[in-house]
Amino acid sequence: MTWEAPMRLALAEARTALAADDVPVGAVVLDEAGTVIATGHNTRESEGDPTGHAEVVALRAAASARGEWRLAGCTLVVTLEPCTMCAGALVLARVDRLVFGAYDDKLGAVGSLWDVVRDRRLNHRPEVLAGVLATEATALLDDFFARHRATAPPAGT
């Protein structure tokens, strides 16, 4: 399967987060047949929820759609390398495959800083495919943070 189409859906979700001035990260969950069963984007700003990461939002919606917390057979497609919380959540949900776009050198937990999903001490290790449409995902994030730096008040004021 090619992962560009689901990643484009995740990128569309990431753009939705921009409306709430949240970090543009989007995610989709696909079932075994490749059908989208859930989507999510960052909601930390709009909901005031520190766990409102795109992956957690999408995993919750997928569990609700399936009627159970186990997401065996599913694929999580996300625009940015998951952090430790999100990597842990997808391991605990038994997601079979993780597909992500941009690497996160500051918080990434799928190879950049940590590698939670491949830790042999855990009872589940999903397949990982990285770098899908990374240029587009990175550009979306870079533009967002450049705008925020340009409009941020000077430090100490």
Q: Reply yes or no on whether 55 is catalytic.
A: yes
Which of 55, 81, 127, 136 is catalytic? The answer is 55
CA dist., res. 113 & res. 135, Å (int): 20
Within 8 A by CB and 6+ apart from 56, the residues are 40, 85, 86, 89
Tell me: is residue 74 an annotated ligand-binding position. no
Tell me: is residue 86 an annotated ligand-binding position. yes
pLDDT in tens, the chain (157 residues): 799 999 999 999 999 998 889 999 999 999 999 999 999 999 999 999 999 999 999 999 999 999 999 999 999 999 999 999 999 999 999 999 999 999 999 999 999 999 999 999 999 999 999 999 999 999 999 999 999 888 877 766 5
Q: What CATH architecture does domain 3-147 belong to?
A: 3-Layer(aba) Sandwich (3.40)
Name the packing angle between helices 4-18 and 134-151 (round to 10°). 10
Is pTM, for the whole model, over 0.85? Answer: yes
User: In angstroms, how far is CA 28 from the centroid of its own chain?
Assistant: 8
Domain boundaries, the chain: 3-147
CA dist., res. 89 & res. 130, Å (int): 18
